[in-house]
Amino acid sequence: MKKLYIFYILLSSIGLIFIIRLFYIQIYTEKYILNAFNTSIKQEIIIPERGSIFDRNNNLLVFNKSIYELIVIPMLIDEHFNIIEFCNLLGIEKDTFYKNLEKAKAYSKYLPSVFLPFISKEKFATIQEKLYKYKGFDWTKRSLRDYKVESSANILGYIGEVTQKDIKKESNYYQMGDFIGWAGVEKSYEKILRGKKGVKYWIRDRNGCIIGSYNNKKNNVKAISGNDIYLTIDWKLQDYAEKLMYQKKGGIVAINPKNGEILSLVSSPINNPNLFVGIHRSEEFIKLIKNTIDFPLLDRPTQARYPPASPFKLLTELAGLQMGVVDKNTTFVCYNGFRYGKKRIHCHSGIHGLPIGVETAVAVSCNNYFAQVYKRLIEKYPKNLTKGVNEWNEIIKSFGFGNYLYNDLATGEKGVIPSGDYYNKKYGYTKWNALTIISNSIGQGEINVTPIQLANMVCAIANKGFFYTPHIVKSINHQPISNPNYTIAKHTKVKSKYFNLIISGMEKVFIIGTGKSFRSSDIRMAGKTGTSQNFLKVNQRRVPLPDHSIFILFAPVEDPKIAISVIIENGGFGSRWAGPIASLLAEKYIRNKVQRKSLEKRIMTSGLQKVYDSIAKMKGIYSTTNNAKNYIDKKK
């Protein structure tokens, strides 16, 4: 019995060895043969077509065009290689040849990498017929991005050559010479857009000419094209918004409050994404980096932080209502601002006189009213001011401030909403009070926000207490996005019953307040002007600069379809530039036309270039802006 058992074990072992040997012959021998014939077999990596990008109305924004690239395997270059003849064929200098070859060697002597990119179809035709003479060199075909639009690089982004960091991160996909999304949608949706690489094997004769497919194409792997992406952006609205930003710096964000879809996202100065395509892309990129006056690569809607100014007063009141320190009947008498000690926060519109409530305070932007509310909420716990500030902080953050919105955009900043602990650290536990930080009440002080955070706040107000995370992609290959981060509402810490007072006051902005001059005759709008103080540090001194012009809006009041924030850098009062821009944009979206042609013409044909030129000449500005390159490199 024991002998029989040993026999079965021996028989099974022999069978197992036989199976393993068959597996080895089937799988590994074929790979060995493939490698052995590497000198006579051309491996062609097939770069997939990158997915196209459309707007919400199926307008094509980004597609592909074919170009050729010369690739090199350094170890295969013949020692008798005729460099001069080769350079003449390509139309390059010897220095360029050595520079590109050293770059390829640094990547790998044994693996193929791009030697010369962006070869046109016409030039390639003259190169291809003579390429067989130069061992170690070959060619490949790839697609290059072609942008049908000449703006909105902050949205669409652009692609650039992979870095060593990119290759290390995904060595199973990227190799030297590949391209990857560097900004915008191209970056945030890289894996969706790029597709999957394929490979073809060709048999070559001893002269390097292809004579057929290897192994009847059995080893070939088909490339899979990238997915098409459909944005939430309305391109006609985007184009209109960009025209309104003529000779102005700043940002515009427009969102559908019903679902968080971003309808327009403008960063000005406006960049053409085609500048980042082709053989001169590096030169253009460096020019933009070196522009430390305009900061054109800064995506202002998501990266630039500003004091929110008067629009923030809306949250001061909502926090006061939620914390129970004021109610709908609360009034304060205003004598041209809020006095504390020898200081005063003035009201831009002068003395408001008789006791005024929140609706009028919003309409006329009464600084005194909101300073009084803020003082009450900070002093809700008289013996523990830290607790009052922290309770206020939590309410404000529930609107999306002081943190990333966790959207699908490639860039973003948290902004600053100070806490009680922050002030304890800054001043000392018992060395500050409500008056120390009273400027927070009107959106100044330590508070900093981004334009997209402001627009998100407007959505929350329009919805009376909730918002959807702003997002830029509507569907992928016509399949609507299903990420719960974008489809499930986020609720603020303010009860819905408190919002009607604020909305009523915002509507009165256009009736009796700071928005009368650009009111629409047939669309009910709710808005708020803002004038944000702005300073520049020169030689350790704070030098005042022209204020930023700010406006927020949603419309129509009865059925909100669009929420907007506009910030015009150094534009002065919110009613001068930002307000008209926001109201025109809302009218254009809701009516698909604009009736106020004279206002439209003024905004589209006049700007602030003289103001920007004068700021640029101020002493010390260059020394304060030399961090631009490091800042932008960090964001890539």
- The reply to whether 278 and 329 lie within a common domain is yes
- The reply to whether 371 and 346 lie within a common domain is yes
Domain total in the chain: 2
Residue 11 included in any domain? no
- The reply to whether 250 and 112 lie within a common domain is no
For residue 634, name the pLDDT band (cuts at 50, 70, 90). Answer: very low
CA atoms of 121 and 115, how far apart (whole Å): 17
Handedness of CA 492, 495, 499, 501 (dihedral sign): negative
By the 10 Å C-beta count (0-12 exposed, 13-18 middle, 19+ buried), 247 is classed as middle
Q: Choose the weakest-confidence range: 115-124, 150-159, 262-271, 432-441.
A: 115-124
CA atoms of 138 and 41, how far apart (whole Å): 12
- The reply to whether 278 and 177 lie within a common domain is no
SS3 content of the chain, % helix, strand, coil (to 5): 40, 20, 35
Residue 30 included in any domain? no
Residue 7 included in any domain? no
| Residue 170 vs residues 162, 225, 445: alpha-carbon distances, Å | 10, 19, 44
Listed residues 231, 258, 286: the one ending a domain:
231
pLDDT one-digit tens code per residue, 448-477: 999 999 999 999 999 999 999 999 999 999
**pLDDT over 60 (residue 4):** no
Residue 280 included in any domain? yes
CA atoms of 307 and 547, how far apart (whole Å): 10
- The reply to whether 126 and 173 lie within a common domain is yes
pLDDT of residue 277: 76
For residue 433, name the pLDDT band (cuts at 50, 70, 90). Answer: very high
Task: Provide the percentage of residues in the chain whose pLDDT is more than 70.
Answer: 88
Residue 549 included in any domain? yes
pLDDT, mean of residues 378-397: 96
Alpha helices in 465-534 (DSSP H): 484-487, 499-508
Q: What is the pTM of this model?
A: 0.83
Mean pLDDT, all residues of the chain: 87
- The reply to whether 192 and 318 lie within a common domain is no
- The reply to whether 163 and 191 lie within a common domain is yes
Q: What does the DSSP assignment read for 248-301? A: --EEEEEEETTTTEEEEEEEESPPPGGGGSSTTHHHHHHHHHH-TTT-TTS-HH
pLDDT, mean of residues 19-27: 54
- Give every CB contact of residue 144 below 8 A, 6+ residues apart in sequence: 64, 65, 66, 67, 118, 277, 278
| Residue 223 vs residues 69, 178, 237: alpha-carbon distances, Å | 18, 15, 36
In DSSP terms, 43 is beta-bridged to 201
pLDDT of residue 632: 34
**pLDDT over 80 (residue 264):** yes
Listed residues 190, 208, 231: the one ending a domain:
231
- The reply to whether 252 and 219 lie within a common domain is no
Region of 229 (left: φ > 0; alpha: ψ -120 to 50; beta: rest) is beta
- The reply to whether 206 and 269 lie within a common domain is no
| Residue 15 vs residues 2, 10, 11, 508: alpha-carbon distances, Å | 20, 9, 6, 89
CA atoms of 551 and 531, how far apart (whole Å): 9
pLDDT one-digit tens code per residue, 515-545: 999 999 999 999 999 999 888 777 777 888 9
Q: Choose the weakest-confidence range: 28-42, 246-260, 354-368, 409-423.
A: 28-42
What CATH number is given to the structural domain containing 266?
3.40.710.10
Residue 372 included in any domain? yes
Higher pLDDT, 292 or 93: 93
Higher pLDDT, 634 or 174: 174
- The reply to whether 423 and 564 lie within a common domain is yes
Task: Provide the percentage of residues in the chain whose pLDDT is more than 90.
Answer: 60
pLDDT of residue 87: 92
**DSSP category for residue 64:** E
pLDDT, mean of residues 363-389: 94
Residue 87 included in any domain? yes
- The reply to whether 508 and 601 lie within a common domain is yes
**pLDDT over 90 (residue 326):** yes
HSE (CB half, 13 Å, CA atoms) of 509?
32
Listed residues 206, 231, 256: the one ending a domain:
231
**pLDDT over 80 (residue 62):** yes
What CATH number is given to the structural domain containing 82?
3.90.1310.10
pLDDT, mean of residues 236-257: 97
Parallel/antiparallel/unpaired status of strands 53-54 and 229-231: parallel
246: containing domain: 235-635
- The reply to whether 98 and 188 lie within a common domain is yes
pLDDT of residue 193: 97
pLDDT of residue 318: 98
Residue 8 included in any domain? no
pLDDT, mean of residues 149-154: 90
